[in-house]
A = this chain, B = another copy of it.
Amino acid sequence: MLICAKRFYNALEIISMFSFAKQMMLRKFGVFKGFTPLRSGEGELKQASELLKILEDKALGGIKVERKKSENVVWHAGKVKKEDRERFLGQKGVILWFTGLSGSGKSTIAHELEERLLKMGKLSYVLDGDNIRHGLNGDLGFSPEDREENIRRIGEVAKLFADLGIITMTAFISPYQKDRQRVRELVKDGEFIEIYVKCPIDELKNRDPKGMYEKAIKGEIKNFTGISAPYEEPENPELILNTDSESIDESVEKVIEYLRNKDII
């Protein structure tokens, strides 16, 4: 019998552990005194840790408690580190960098994914025009220098969020390979996940729910990516989502599968 130490136990796991420990204690000592009350206020981490200790101390020959390396309960001395927060959250802090033309579905997919992840008990956050352009980057326009500075700051903020242990999503057109590459180099290998949200421009021109492409074609909007300003396709993106042929759910599922395969969630 192996019990693996995790940070949080779900209801069934704790009930199973409890039942098993009770049986074993009855068998071994002929008596079951129950667990000593666990101290409150120090969080579930402590609780789970103490429950395990009780199982180890009191319960039973025949149980070996194995602590999974990625989920163990040891604290570093000194400052709290990224790894500590990742253990606490039960996930890795990474940047999911969505890039693609206007209207391709970056923000929609990111927000859908955010909701799915939260329901799975994973914490994520979407940086997009809504919370960046009016705040941190409210002082920037759309000149080439300002666009570059825009992406630089978003990259730096995304790095901080990833350092916090968050699955950080950015949903910006980010048309230049060079700017995306610079963000990639800010973090460790594997922490920058470039997701190309790909949709043929003719399809986008047809959809055009906000009439943006029409205005851009007429010249009413200048420097519009894909019409009057270039979009440089990612050279080696970690993922491509083909939003002309996939449903939103399918795209979201592809990202979740990727995160699972890479042990990020």
Contact = CB atoms under 8 A, between A and B. Distances in A.
Interface of A: 8-12, 14-15, 18, 35, 37-38, 40-48, 50-51, 75, 79-80, 84-85, 88-89, 111, 114-115, 118-123, 125, 127, 131, 135-136, 153, 156-157, 159-161, 163-166, 186
Contact of A118 (B88, B115, B159): B88
Contacts of A122: 43
A10 B40 contact: yes
Contact of A131 (B85, B123, B160): B160
6 contacts: A12-B38, A42-B119, A75-B118, A80-B118, A123-B164, A131-B163
A258 to B, nearest CB: 16
Nearest to A8: B44
A37 B18 CA distance: 15
Contact of A35 (B15, B40, B80, B157): B15
Given A44-B121, A88-B123, 8 more contacts: A11-B48, A11-B50, A43-B122, A46-B119, A80-B114, A85-B123, A136-B157, A157-B160
A253 to B, nearest CB: 13
Contacts of A88: 118, 121, 123
Given A15-B14, A15-B18, A85-B123, A115 B8 contact: no
Contacts of A75: 115, 118-119
B47 A10 contact: yes
Nearest to A10: B47
A79 B41 contact: no
A137 to B, nearest CB: 8
B123 A11 contact: no
B164 A161 contact: yes
Contacts of A40: 10
Residue with the highest number of chain B CB atoms closer than 10 Å, among A41, A111, A125:
A125
A89 B135 CA distance: 25
Given A10-B44, A48-B11, A136 B118 contact: no
A169 to B, nearest CB: 11
A111 B15 CA distance: 36
A125 B79 CA distance: 11
